Amino acid sequence: MKKLIPQSIKNIYHLFQAIFANFWFGFPSRRLKVIGVTGTNGKTTTVQMIARILEEAGQKVAVSSTINFKIGDQEKVNVTKFTTLSSWQLQKFLREAAEANCEWVVLEVSSHSLDQNRVWGVRFNVAVITNITREHLDYHKTMKEYARVKEKLFAGLRKSGGFEKFRKSVSVVNLAMDFAENFLKYEADQVYGYAVRIPNKYKIPNTKYQTVVAENIKIGLNDSQFTVRDVPFELNLPGEFNIENALAAICVGLSQGISLEKISEALAKLKRVTGRMERIENNRGLEIIVDYAVTPDSLEKLYNYINKIRKAKRSDRAAEEESGWTAKVIAVFGACGERDRGKRPIMGEIVARYADYCFVTNEDPYNENPMQIIDEVFRGVINSKSQTLNPKQIQNSVKREGVDAFRILDRREAIKKALRIAKPGDIVVVTGKGAEETMAVGKKRIPWNDPKVIREVLSEIKKEESQ
């Protein structure tokens, strides 16, 4: 029945819910400074970075993200499987933050929540956009509409004045992303543009916004280094995409008068975000990485980084042993049910291009047939022929079922088989769920955590081998 109701009608219902929730809880965001972070990828990491910067500056902070809820020192895991809470839960959370005397709240804001009016009534002081790449086209239909919905977060910003003289608004935009101009058009008291590499059209001096650019970039296997305005930064997070996330957080810090030196100290103390580029320790000599990557763009960036690990391992091993050795990349992944079906073969093609072995498995099927989802992803794996590849690369990327490409419904079994074929020095990458605590199967939420399952499977293999 719910599927027969147009989304526009549902959104009206959500609006009334949000209005009622705001009145019930007393419009709590008016007692707080609220930062909203939206974008396709990088939201969770950016939220954690911003919170760390504010905490290091002595502020009491609340956080609502895909992975956690935090009010001051009290923290719990987000098991709702929602990036942004329902309007009722959100207003309740904001009131709890206000009653705990938090000054700041950092919210991860999804496009669905913006479209469905779930964040109606929340007065955002700061709006951040990380990037816009293909995602949720099952819902938004086009990239243009997807971007338009994201813009709602920025449309809510106004220059201070009238009854809101106390409220200074800040806009933070990734200049290197598609649709950047759409977000720069919105007024705010302070506008920041950031990028690892600023496109030429934004290099012309502009009085409308301040630019924050990373220079002297050095990306290691376990960390990243760069400078901003000659101030050195070091992250315990690898990958250029994490530098991009850091730049967004730096902009927020600067907008609040926090020095670059203080921001640098805060980011240096930030540990890796759970389920994002998370390494699993083991005694088998394997590099095991768990990541949340669920979009074509996030998979592309992740496997670009994995490729650098592979090259470094080959260089080190070749110096010790034989020049022909290379680490194998073994991928375990799938796609979420009831989401953009068009991206499934694209994701399969991307992973197959980088990985030596592909295990396509169950993820969060919801009410879809999980095997059908696997088949759609697998289609991209065995037909991996990208226009960006030369003939030799295409030949290397094509997979054969039963040889280097496998369809396995049971995610635990897929992980176990991947770990079994891995040899010392190989890289096993498990994506799609990150640190999530459950798997959505129909209307049920089955307990599931990739890092935990991997550790259990490693113990099982060790026990079996010792028998």
2-269 folds as UDP-N-acetylmuramoyl-L-alanine:D-glutamate ligase (3.40.1190)
Task: Give pLDDT tens digits for 387-444.
Answer: 444 544 444 567 888 889 999 999 999 999 999 999 999 999 999 999 999 999 999 9
Q: What is the pTM of this model?
A: 0.88
- Owner of token pair 């470094």: 312
State the burial class of residue 461 (Cβ atoms within 10 Å of its Cβ: 0-12, 13-18, 19+): middle
Architecture of the domain whose range is 278-466: Alpha-Beta Complex (3.90)
Q: How far apart are CA 410 and CA 179, in angstroms?
A: 39
**Higher local confidence (pLDDT), 322 or 165:** 322
Alpha-carbon 19 to chain mean position = 29
Distance CA 176, CA 214 (A): 12
> Residues spanned by CATH 3.40.1190.10 within the chain?
2-269
* Mean predicted confidence (pLDDT) in 191-196: 96
The DSSP secondary-structure symbol of 282 reads -
- CATH 3.90.190.20 positions along the chain are 278-466
pLDDT digits (tens, 9 = 90+) for 90-134: 999 999 999 999 999 999 999 999 999 999 999 999 999 999 988
Phi, psi of 396 (to 5 degrees): -70, -25
pLDDT digits (tens, 9 = 90+) for 312-329: 776 555 444 555 567 899
